[in-house]
Structure 1
Amino acid sequence: MKLLRFGAAGAEKPGLLDKDGTIRDLSSVVSDITPETLKAGAIEKIAKVDPATLPAVAPGGRIGPVVSRTGNFIAVGLNYVDHAHETNSPIPSEPILFNKTPNSMIGPNDPVTIPKASTKTDWEVELAIVIGKTALYVSEADALSYVAGFAVCHDVSERAFQTERGGQWMKGKGSPTFGPLGPWLVTPDEIADVQNLDMFLDVNGKRCQTGNTKTMIFGVAHLVSYISQFLQLDPGDVITTGTPPGVGMGMKPPTYLKDGDVVRLGIAGLGEQQQTFHAYKG
């Protein structure tokens, strides 16, 4: 299934994308896609419904982030071999973890704000995992059974904040609007091999990132299991899993986003996003 949330920010409704590409309103089935509804079995409940019995939604409206009220928005750094090489970084022996802020999460096509005092706002297309049930000390063999679905994430990053201001990476990762997520939450049964998905990202129509999840250093199952050894993952939590090469900081010379730039990105089977970047106005 391809699930989504549609409508104005803060008033989204749950939806399903049917096989013909029509959005169907799920409001009569579940109230929303949230930690609470996922915990209560929303995915299983939706799977029993015939999409043709649900009201169609007019096309062209806003799409929101795929889940609401996320508790943890966890990110993995330097998780693609070729990206580590382009940043002249050693290959990690264990996953590098940091946090993005849940309130940085926005819809896949919402505008992104370049932060006040930013000089190095950068792009990163990533595969995101949405957790479907509580995971603590889970094995790698069982890890995928804890996954509700997958989505496209844009891990927008301010490199000066991240790398030049000391402390942890989250300084450059958690600004408002720095986490577009969607358009769809795609359930695992629709993905033949999550470790073989093509990825791309364009800036102003120019291809910058081309990659595939097969070059991940630590795969999806390993990440879910690994993270669950240190903290409890709850329904609705999001893990964004790293980016392939082609980011702005790796270019020669480095190139960063400016007011008016348009970024388009996507992952095979998971849909596409597009954002316009705007300077902070205060």
Structure 2
Amino acid sequence: MKLLRYGQPGSEKPGLVDDRGTVRDLSGAISDLDGSALSDKAIERLRQIDPATLPAVTPDRVGPCVGRVGKFICVGLNYIDHARETGKEPPAEPILFMKATSAIVGPNDDIEIPRSSNKADWEVELGVVIGKRAKYVETSDALSHVAGYCVVNDVSERAFQSERGGQWTKGKSHDTFGPLGPWLVTRDEVTNPQALELWLDVDGVRQQTGATSNMIFDVAFLVSYISQFMTLEPGDVIATGTPPGVGMGIKPAPVFLKPGQTIALGISGLGCQKSRTVEARN
């Protein structure tokens, strides 16, 4: 299933996309698409509903595909070519950092360029949405704890990230730096999360092209690994790293975002995002 949330910020309703691409209202079945609705049993109940019996809607806005995210966990340098374009060696173990949940916005919402920013950058990533509590899980069982997958743009401010005390979270957490969606695609529709194509354009120019098959650490390993350090709860989101082609890696000189640009990105089977960059609001 393709599940989503639609409506104005703070008032989103749950929905699904039927086989014809029509959005159907799920608010009569669940209150929101959050951790409480992401267990295997809960998703199976939704699957038993005939979409034709649900009201068809025309959303004025698509919101982030997961509500009330508890943890937004990111994996750094998880593609060899991306690690090398940043001047770093591929890591021996996953690099983990947190992105503030206040950064989460819808897939087509504006992306703010922060005040004093001069190195805002883009990163298309596969998002993994947890559906079942995971603590000390084995790699062989890790994917059973996944509810589904989504597109993530791990927007970054490189100067804040690397030149302001070495705290990656500083450069990753500005408001609007975490577009999620458009859909949460349930696990059964993604038979192999390591066989997905990723892409990202800035102002119509292709900047990133990649494949999840090139991850250094695959999804199952990441879920298991992270669960050794913290308990993953339903509704938590893991951004699994970006392929090469980010602005900081462009030669001979890096290229960064400025207000008034368009960023489009997508992952095969998971949908596309399209955002405009704007000056930061108060």
Fold conserved between structures, TM > 0.5: yes
1:163-174 aligned within 5 A:
163-174=162-173
Matched residue pairs, number? 281
Percentage identity across aligned positions?
60
Aligned equivalent of 1:3: 3
Q: CA deviation at 1:38?
A: 2.8
Aligned equivalent of 1:14: 14
One-letter code aligned to 1:27: S
Q: Could you tell which deviates more after superposition, 27-36 or 100-109?
A: 27-36
Cα separation, 2, equivalents of 1:40 and 1:196: 23
Cα separation, 2, equivalents of 1:171 and 1:133: 29
Aligned equivalent of 1:120: 119
Inter-CA distance 40–143: structure 2 relative to 1 (3 Å threshold):
closer
Matched, 1:51 2:51: yes
Q: CA deviation at 1:36?
A: 2.7
Aligned equivalent of 1:94: 93
Summarize deviations over 1:59-110 as a string: whole Å, max 9, x none: x520000111111000000000111121121110000000001110000000
One-letter code aligned to 1:259: P
One-letter code aligned to 1:76: V
Cα separation, 2, equivalents of 1:45 and 1:10: 25
Preserved contact between residue 64 and residue 179 of structure 2 (Cα < 8 Å): yes
Summarize deviations over 1:226-265 as a string: whole Å, max 9, x none: 0000000000000000000000000021000001011000
Matched, 1:68 2:67: yes
Q: TM-score, normalised by structure 1?
A: 0.97
Cα separation, 2, equivalents of 1:267 and 1:182: 10
Preserved contact between residue 39 and residue 147 of structure 2 (Cα < 8 Å): no
Inter-CA distance 211–109: structure 2 relative to 1 (3 Å threshold):
same
Give the secondary-structure state (helix, strand or coil) at the position aligned to 1:278.
strand
Cα separation, 1, equivalents of 2:191 and 2:280: 41
Summarize deviations over 1:121-165 as a string: whole Å, max 9, x none: 000000000000110000000000000000000000000000111
Aligned equivalent of 1:216: 215
Cα separation, 2, equivalents of 1:40 and 1:186: 13
Aligned equivalent of 2:241: 242
Aligned equivalent of 1:256: 256
Aligned equivalent of 1:157: 156
Preserved contact between residue 73 and residue 238 of structure 1 (Cα < 8 Å): yes
Q: TM-score, normalised by structure 2?
A: 0.97
Q: CA deviation at 1:192?
A: 2.8
Cα separation, 1, equivalents of 2:208 and 2:33: 30
Cα separation, 2, equivalents of 1:22 and 1:107: 19
1:7-46 aligned within 5 A:
7-38=7-38, 41-46=41-46
Matched, 1:131 2:130: yes
Q: CA deviation at 1:211?
A: 0.5
Preserved contact between residue 33 and residue 42 of structure 1 (Cα < 8 Å): no
One-letter code aligned to 2:28: S
Give the secondary-structure state (helix, strand or coil) at the position aligned to 1:171.
helix
